[in-house]
């Protein structure tokens, strides 16, 4: 056991690097989303501004890791061994929990995660100590170990920030949009200058209050005393300082506008820098506070002569200890490297951007009964509320909320909303800092973004139920973070307390497994996204010939999948093999998902076709319609055959099985003809011949079925199954014929067009 505690300190520092990585991935959403969503600059430029903010914030970071050392529990009531197990449990639980949220692509609060991990670990160890036979302390003594009142204040303050941020974002941005409108370019010279000055002055104040105050410590260095006195001066002369700051900012904004610069771009980049700096300067405690507290504990224990760790109280940990700047800067560098090279940051940022985007597209979340109820209530309330105002006033207001006709589909929202997100978030965090109120920067920035998107009518009747459902899911995840962190850290610390080295080995192995699983799941998600991008016809406007080729590239795998489903369904029902039919169902679910992607991109694809040549759009709609009908037919065949065998209904008669096999061979032959026409680019007389043969056989088999019913050979389940297979086979044949006809007609049109062009030349 000589090297047990030094080894734990080393392990804690290694774990802190992983915690920095997973924490930065999740918290990157706080300062990146406004810049990325508005496409204010290239991703590289945005990353440079964020990196500078992180590095400066880490350099100026507070050396007082208060929450980690004595924020939620009193260290003087715990032994050195107790605190070591608590810190280990916190780091292990925090890493696993944040990695789970990162993999799911859901932003959560690292502050909430750390606070409740500390609370859970300390609570568990305190209960073990109090209930031991040697102690037998009463339950009310728990208040000596745990600072319940302070913890409750932190938790309440953090969760209250959700409501306040959303209301503030929606209310303030409503007036910002009313004055600037979506056609804000013409108003930048006057109203834009005032708004830019308000934004820059509030962000600068935010930088000073939230960013610079971190370097104020007990160490009386000249620079520290200067900053301390400067902040005191600002607090005592608040209105004078704010007036001077606003005047300077309005001059800067006016000069920029006069030079032809878009001042809002500077505002958004400056806001990204300031939020990144504040994040690194204040939230760094969430990641390195625990290992710093652990090494301080170890040094206190060693200086005391290394007494038994299970009997040495940690009273000295309550004193202030400064953290070396080198550790903070090293942490900042790790965070910057993670920001640049981790692909998971894109997954987290995409969640907030998807929920707040102004343009149409595929919705990430499904609607829920609660979201539908909320939408219906506010539709009813809004209808009654707006009747109180004169129509002329409402029409005038509506003009400012009318969106641009030509809007870039790749931009989620404009620079006005991006600047509003950053400004309102900065103001709220500054107020909380001055008033010493606890909050989560993740909760504030996310909910402000949701509030501003509501004011901008991004949540219209087409998307509101899905967006609200997504927001509710994210908020539910935040509450789960607290509960999960508490119980995970509590259970982990209990195992470490009793099993020590064996528990430590197990949990380290668990972290490796979780990270490996997370990596594999992320790779699967990314590969699925690449497949989806291949399915969707997006990008530049295509010529008719390229459009046709790309459409057929999508069509081929879908037709092939339908062919496999049909073959498996007939084989499964004739042989009564459930496994074949279940595999057929899996194939169907995959093509249904792929077709949903095509369906969601339908409008966007048609919009990107040339207005002068609408042939591509019409072709896409008609092929889409035929494919939809074929997938619906495949759905009926798949479900009917699967349920028939699954429910152990009577087998088909030998003649019926023979009929279905004949039909299967004819259908497979017809599928092959489609492939042949696709490859050789020519029409085939064989197509009509096989089609007529299929139709003839289907009619003959239906007549046989009718005769069988008349003579009581077939029951109800048997008849319904056969009729579904035969009639849907006929529909599939008809739709394939229509697709072949569309393809050949378009190819002939292209051939004539190219011939005409060559004759002109």
> Three-state SS string across 469-486, please?
HHHHHHHHHHHHHHHHHH
Say if CB 584 and CB 638 are below 8 A apart: yes
| 759 phi/psi in degrees, rounded to 5 | -70, -35
Say if CB 313 and CB 329 are below 8 A apart: no
* Residues whose CB is less than 8 angstroms from the CB of residue 30 and which lie 6 or more positions away in sequence, other chains included: 275, 279, 441, 442, 445
What Cα–Cα distance (Å) separates residue 626 from each residue in 89, 200, 593? 58, 55, 17
N residues, the chain: 761
Rounded to the nearest 10 degrees, what angle do helices 654-680 and 685-710 cross at?
A: 160
What Cα–Cα distance (Å) separates residue 209 from each residue in 255, 277, 455, 548, 591? 27, 12, 29, 59, 55
Give the tokens for residue 615: 């042939």
Closest to 118 in 3D by CA, of 90, 76, 149: 90
Rounded to the nearest 10 degrees, what angle do helices 80-104 and 501-535 cross at?
A: 10
CA torsion sign, 324 to 15 to 521 to 493?
negative
Q: Which helix (H) or strand (E) holds 725?
A: helix 716-760
How far apart CA 449 and CA 543 sit, in angstroms, is: 39
Partners of residue 79 on adjacent β-strands: 313
Give the tokens for residue 112: 């909430």
Kindly list the averaged pLDDT for each block of 10 residues, start to end, along the chain of length 761.
Answer: 77 85 78 85 87 80 51 78 88 88 79 85 87 72 76 76 89 89 82 89 78 53 69 79 88 86 88 82 70 80 79 70 71 84 74 76 76 86 82 81 65 86 85 70 86 85 83 86 89 89 88 84 70 54 61 77 89 88 87 76 64 64 83 90 87 87 88 73 64 87 86 82 89 85 70 51 35
DSSP at 1: -
Give the tokens for residue 560: 């092939």
Q: What is the pLDDT of residue 621?
A: 79
Rounded to the nearest 10 degrees, what angle do helices 685-710 and 716-760 cross at?
A: 170
Q: What is the pLDDT of residue 330?
A: 83
Say if CB 312 and CB 297 are below 8 A apart: no
For 547, what's the count of Cα atoms within 13 Å in the CB-facing half-sphere?
25
How far apart CA 487 and CA 101 sit, in angstroms, is: 16
Closest to 83 in 3D by CA, of 433, 647, 496: 496
How far apart CA 88 and CA 86 sit, in angstroms, is: 5
Closest to 728 in 3D by CA, of 677, 680, 683, 694: 694
How far apart CA 275 and CA 448 sit, in angstroms, is: 14
Which own/partner contact pairs does 698-702 have at CB distance under 8 Å and 24+ positions apart? Answer: 698/663, 698/726, 698/727, 698/729, 698/730, 701/659, 701/663, 701/726, 702/726
Give the tokens for residue 647: 């429910």
In our burial notation (b when 16+ CB lie closer than 10 A, e otherwise), range 625-647 reads: ebbebbbebbbebbbbbbebbee
How far apart CA 40 and CA 269 sit, in angstroms, is: 8
Domains and CATH numbers, the chain: 4-527 (no CATH), 534-760 (1.20.58.220)
Closest to 87 in 3D by CA, of 13, 152, 144, 164: 13
- Helix, strand, or coil here: 79? strand
- Three-state SS across 577-603? CHHHHHHHHHHHHHHHHHHHHHHHCHH
Rounded to the nearest 10 degrees, what angle do helices 263-283 and 285-303 cross at?
A: 30
The model carries a pTM of 0.77
**Cα 9 versus chain centre, distance:** 34
What Cα–Cα distance (Å) separates residue 616 from each residue in 302, 370, 553, 714, 740? 77, 41, 15, 48, 16
CA torsion sign, 406 to 408 to 412 to 417?
negative
């Amino acid at each position: 056991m000589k090297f047990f505690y030094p080894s734990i300190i080393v392990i804690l520092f290694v774990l802190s690097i992983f915690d920095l990585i997973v924490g930065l991935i999740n918290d990157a959403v706080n300062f990146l989303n406004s810049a990325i969503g508005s496409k204010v600059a290239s991703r590289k430029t945005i990353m440079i501004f964020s990196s500078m903010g992180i590095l400066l914030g880490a350099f100026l970071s507070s050396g007082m890791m208060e929450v980690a050392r004595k924020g939620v529990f009193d260290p003087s009531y715990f032994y050195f061994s107790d605190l070591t197990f608590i810190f280990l449990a916190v780091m292990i639980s925090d890493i696993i929990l944040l990695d789970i949220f990162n993999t799911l692509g859901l932003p959560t609060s690292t502050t909430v995660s750390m606070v409740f991990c500390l609370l859970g670990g300390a609570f568990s160890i305190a209960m073990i100590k109090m209930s031991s036979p040697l102690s037998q302390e009463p339950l009310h003594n728990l208040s000596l170990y745990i600072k319940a009142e302070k913890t409750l204040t932190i938790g309440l303050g953090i969760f209250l920030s959700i409501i306040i941020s959303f209301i503030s974002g929606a209310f303030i941005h409503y007036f910002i949009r009313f004055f600037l409108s979506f056609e804000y370019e013409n108003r930048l010279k006057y109203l834009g200058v005032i708004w830019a000055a308000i934004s820059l002055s509030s962000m600068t104040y935010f930088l000073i209050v939230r960013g610079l105050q971190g370097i104020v410590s007990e160490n009386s260095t000249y620079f520290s005393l200067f900053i301390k006195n400067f902040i005191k001066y600002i607090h005592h002369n608040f209105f004078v300082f704010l007036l001077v700051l606003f005047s300077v900012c309005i001059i800067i904004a006016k000069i920029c506008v006069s030079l032809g610069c878009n001042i809002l771009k500077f505002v958004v980049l400056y806001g990204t820098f300031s939020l990144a700096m504040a994040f690194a300067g204040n939230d760094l405690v969430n990641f390195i506070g625990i290992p710093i507290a652990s090494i301080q504990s170890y040094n206190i224990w060693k200086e005391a002569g290394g007494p038994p760790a299970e009997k040495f109280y940690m009273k000295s940990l309550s004193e202030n200890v400064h953290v070396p700047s080198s550790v903070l800067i090293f942490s900042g560098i790790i965070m910057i490297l993670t920001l640049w090279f981790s692909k998971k940051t894109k997954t987290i940022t995409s969640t907030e951007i998807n929920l707040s985007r102004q343009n149409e597209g595929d919705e990430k979340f499904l609607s829920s009964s609660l979201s539908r109820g909320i939408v219906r209530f506010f539709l009813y309330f809004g209808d009654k509320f707006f009747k109180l105002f004169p129509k002329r006033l409402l029409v005038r207001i509506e003009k400012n909320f009318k969106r641009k006709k030509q809007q870039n589909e790749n931009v989620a929202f404009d620079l006005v909303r991006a600047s509003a997100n950053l400004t309102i978030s900065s103001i709220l965090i500054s107020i909380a800092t001055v008033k010493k109120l606890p909050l989560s920067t993740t909760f504030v920035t996310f909910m402000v973004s949701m509030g501003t998107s509501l004011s901008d009518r991004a949540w219209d009747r087409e998307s509101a139920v899905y967006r609200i459902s997504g927001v509710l899911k994210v908020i539910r995840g935040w509450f789960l973070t607290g509960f999960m962190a508490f119980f995970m850290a509590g259970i982990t610390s209990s195992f470490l307390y009793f099993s020590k080295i064996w528990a430590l080995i197990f949990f380290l192995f668990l972290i490796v497994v979780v990270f490996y699983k997370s990596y594999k799941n992320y790779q699967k998600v990314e590969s699925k996204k690449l497949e989806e991008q291949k399915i969707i016809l997006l990008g530049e406007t295509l010529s008719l010939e390229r459009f046709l080729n790309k459409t057929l590239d999508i069509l081929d795998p879908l037709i092939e999948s339908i062919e496999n489903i049909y073959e498996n369904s007939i084989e499964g029902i004739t042989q009564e093999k459930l496994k074949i039919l279940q595999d057929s169902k899996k194939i169907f679910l995959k093509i249904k998902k792929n077709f949903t992607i095509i369906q969601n991109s339908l409008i966007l694809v048609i919009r990107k076709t040339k207005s002068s040549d609408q042939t591509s759009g019409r072709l896409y709609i008609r092929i889409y319609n035929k494919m939809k009908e074929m997938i619906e037919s495949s759905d009926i065949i798949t479900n009917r055959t699967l349920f028939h065998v699954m429910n152990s209904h009577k087998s088909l008669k030998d003649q019926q099985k023979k009929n279905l096999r004949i039909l299967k061979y004819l259908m497979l032959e017809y599928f092959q003809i489609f492939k042949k026409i696709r490859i050789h680019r020519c029409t085939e007389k064989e197509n009509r011949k096989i089609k007529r043969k299929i139709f003839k056989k289907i009619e003959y088999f239906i007549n046989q079925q009718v005769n069988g019913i008349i003579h009581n050979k077939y029951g109800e389940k048997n008849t319904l199954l056969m009729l579904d297979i035969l009639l849907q086979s006929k529909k599939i044949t008809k739709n394939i014929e229509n697709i072949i006809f569309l393809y050949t007609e378009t190819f002939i049109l292209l051939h004539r067009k190219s011939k005409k062009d060559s004759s002109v030349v």
